Amino acid sequence: MRSRLSSPVLAGIRVFAFAVLVSPAWCATTVLFNPASQEVGPFPSNALTVATSSQKTGLQINLPSPSGCTPLSTATQCVNVELLNQLDGFSVNPRITVCFSAAVNVSTLTNGIFFVPVSEFGLPIGINQVIFDPSGLCAYAKPNQVLDQDTEYLLVVTPAVLDANGKSVEPSSQYTSCVMWKTTPYCQQLAQAMNPLLTIVSDLRGIAAASVFTTLSATNWMERARTAVDSGAIPGVGTLASPMVTFNMADVTSITWIPDPGVGVTGVNLNQTIPLNDLTGVAKISMGAFLSPLYINTSGPLAGTISVTPTNMAIPVPGAVVPVSFHVFLPASTNQARGGNVPVILFGHGLGDFQWGAATYAASRWAQKGYATIAFEILGHGYGPNGITQFVTTNEGTVNVPTPGRGVQFVPGQPIASTDGCIAAGAAATRDCSRESAVDLCALVQAIRKTNGLGLNLDSTRIYFTGQSFGSFYGTLFEAVNPYVEAAALNVGGGTQIDVGRLSPIARVLGAEYLAGFTPSLLNVPPAPPEPYFNDSFNDQYVYRGQAVTASVPGALAIQAGFEQADWLEMIGDPLGFAAHLMLEPLSGVPPKSILIQFGLGDLEVPNPAESALVRAAGLNGQTWMLETNVAVQMEPALLSLTQPGLGYPIYPHRFLANPTFFLSSSPPLETAVGTAAQSQIADFFTTGRIPNPNQYFTGQFAGVNLFEIPFPLPDMLNFLQIAP
């Protein structure tokens, strides 16, 4: 059980443990108590669930339908509740609601509200990111740490919360009646859950209100899907769809990727030529396809999502098994002591990338370290199914190798864009693309294990993973559930995916599309003032860690509530729902993993608060290295002018690990030096099991510079301005 007790919570316990309420009830500020109401709370609350044996927790969410919703409603608030009511518990990162009869002192909320795990009555977990609504008299906050899955918790409000006159808040008569007389089944559950707490508090006078709730089974679906892949229960999964095609690099004069742009579309030139002269250390390239189960719906109203299965029931056999295109960069040198077997790094590419993208720009360094690199096409990427990779060789002439893309054409006759099929409409967004991609990785591991290393002498006992950006998102899921890959490097990943949509100036367009789906739309700018940095269509007055603020932006709290619904829905496919199971609490049958995390200060695409959240949830503070972008751009201001075709914003530092600009003569030398250092750190981490200091890899004009550090404290605010030269 993960519980860390902060000093503010200790102070709160001392206050409430000895508090004696002396004010008459008629003049006291009370904590409102209506556990069947999300709006009043305290929320979350199991009063908003129903019992069922079909769910692992024995419960299923049962939120009331919003006003005006019907079974055919498409408004986002209606769809969200329908989807939430399929889950078996509340978020492991819930937004709490606690309301009062009068105004309270906002600065006292952090000391006076906390969570307690019930089954193993552990140390309290405090709250963070607090905001108080002065008009509705309600406080909202997040837990100080991600909670355990499928676990019962108490949310406790104590007299350490003070009202505007400095007096302790008191229990309402509704709450007192509930826990003393156990008037409903929920009240019986609440009273029973509070029994251990009362041994510390002595009596009910030290508690102003409480609720009991159960968190959802975040990893359940992924665990069962991985078991299905490994067990051979799905015919063909984890085998090769066709024989491998291998080329000696010495014979290859060019490689060109020619994607299929979509049915009925012509004239879309998306060729990507690979700079062969820079692939030092790569001896061969092999191409093939492995078979993976397709769980995601590709058409109809559920397109882009995986159908929900109750967590205590078997997940259905997927409707299809599909070929997943991949290629392998093979190193020139092998370990003869291991029979020539080659360790292999699986590369998870980012959102909008493809198999010939970022992996290409790391493969050379890893080949020089003796590693093969495998890059594959994740769901929704690679465009249409008829793509090819064209090799021109000195001995065979032109050879076209099928490279089926995995884009999903939702609109017939329209081009398939770079992420079509990976980003679902509404709150689901990339949740199920993450899960499907993690399943693909499990199938790829099985293919390596079942086919004697793909027939390429890959060492099935030394398989590693590196994810870049979105690759680190689904890579976190994969590492948490897969027992055969013992170490991973997660580069510029984070969580939650919803917070990325709120905080990234690049991803906020997706956040705005989601908010516009509510009826009426939740977009609030104008009349609300625009959010600093962003200046776009919504301002949710985002509360960063360490803050306790008073709401002041019209419409912001409604936006926060809307984003919380999506955050809750995404938790079954979000890195924060899986991070603790990497090392702190390994899942059944999966050993603890060795993890390296890399990110850069001032990341524009996965902002630092999201990156820090992943580090914190995984307990990997000492295994994290941050690029000090502010120092790097002082040395080389041109880093901030790096762009890619079609992208109108700086790509630095988000893409410091592997980027096509490494190979341009116009690229700043420091860009290549930083990327090479990060790549070398990953390879040597996999080789030795220890995380080396990446600064040691700077040579030549950069020898002795220190651009990476173990960040302490973790950056929890936006740092865009810090990277300016």
Strand ranges, E, within 24-119: 30-31, 49-51, 59-61, 96-99, 113-117
pLDDT number for residue 667: 85
Cβ atoms 400, 388 nearer than 8 A:
yes
Helix (H, G, I), strand (E, B) or coil at 332: coil
- When pLDDT is cut at 50, 70 and 90, the band that residue 673 belongs to is very high
389: left (phi over 0), alpha (psi -120 to 50) or beta: beta
Please check the confidence at residue 25 and state whether its pLDDT lies above 70.
Answer: no
Q: What's the mean pLDDT in 38-55?
A: 97
> In sequence order, which residues have a C-beta less than 8 Å from that of residue 508 and are 6 or more positions away?
501, 502, 534, 536, 538
Q: What is the mean pLDDT of the chain?
A: 90
Quote the CA–CA distance of 285 and 355 in Å, as a whole number. Answer: 13
Quote the CA–CA distance of 704 and 597 in Å, as a whole number. Answer: 22
Please check the confidence at residue 154 and state whether its pLDDT lies above 50.
Answer: yes
pLDDT digits (tens, 9 = 90+) for 268-309: 444 455 677 778 999 999 999 999 999 999 888 888 899 999
Q: What is the pTM of this model?
A: 0.94
pLDDT digits (tens, 9 = 90+) for 224-274: 999 999 998 899 999 999 899 999 999 999 888 888 875 444 444 444 556
> In sequence order, which residues have a C-beta less than 8 Å from that of residue 527 and are 6 or more positions away?
554
Quote the CA–CA distance of 509 and 529 in Å, as a whole number. Answer: 18
More confidently predicted of 575 and 718: 575
Please check the confidence at residue 592 and state whether its pLDDT lies above 60.
Answer: yes
DSSP alpha helix (H) spans, 32-170:
76-84, 109-112
pLDDT number for residue 104: 98
Sign of the four-CA dihedral 495, 499, 505, 507: positive
pLDDT number for residue 649: 72
Strand ranges, E, within 573-680: 594-600, 624-627
Quote the CA–CA distance of 131 and 665 in Å, as a whole number. Answer: 50
Q: What's the mean pLDDT in 711-716?
A: 93
Burial track 245-272 (b if 16+ CB lie within 10 A, e otherwise): eebebeebeebbbbbbbbeeeeeeeeee
Helix (H, G, I), strand (E, B) or coil at 450: helix
Q: Are strands 548-550 and 209-214 parallel, antiparallel or unpaired?
A: unpaired
Give the phi and the psi of residue 347 in degrees, each rounded to 5: -110, 125
- When pLDDT is cut at 50, 70 and 90, the band that residue 368 belongs to is very high
pLDDT number for residue 718: 85
More confidently predicted of 201 and 386: 386
User: Which run of H or of E encompasses 433?
Assistant: helix 431-450
pLDDT digits (tens, 9 = 90+) for 379-429: 999 998 999 999 999 999 999 999 999 998 777 777 788 888 999 989 999
Please check the confidence at residue 3 and state whether its pLDDT lies above 80.
Answer: no
pLDDT number for residue 24: 41
As a whole-number percent, the residues of the chain with pLDDT over 90 amount to 77
List of long-range contacts for 399-405, beta carbons under 8 Å, 24+ apart: 399/245, 399/247, 401/245, 401/287, 402/289, 402/325, 403/257, 403/259, 403/287, 403/325, 403/355, 403/377, 404/289, 404/323, 404/325, 404/377, 405/259, 405/260, 405/325, 405/354, 405/377, 405/381
Please check the confidence at residue 312 and state whether its pLDDT lies above 60.
Answer: yes
Looking at residue 425, the DSSP 8-state letter turns out to be: S
pLDDT number for residue 230: 95
> In sequence order, which residues have a C-beta less than 8 Å from that of residue 381 and are 6 or more positions away?
349, 352, 353, 354, 405, 406, 407, 418, 419, 421, 422
Helix (H, G, I), strand (E, B) or coil at 250: helix
pLDDT number for residue 412: 72
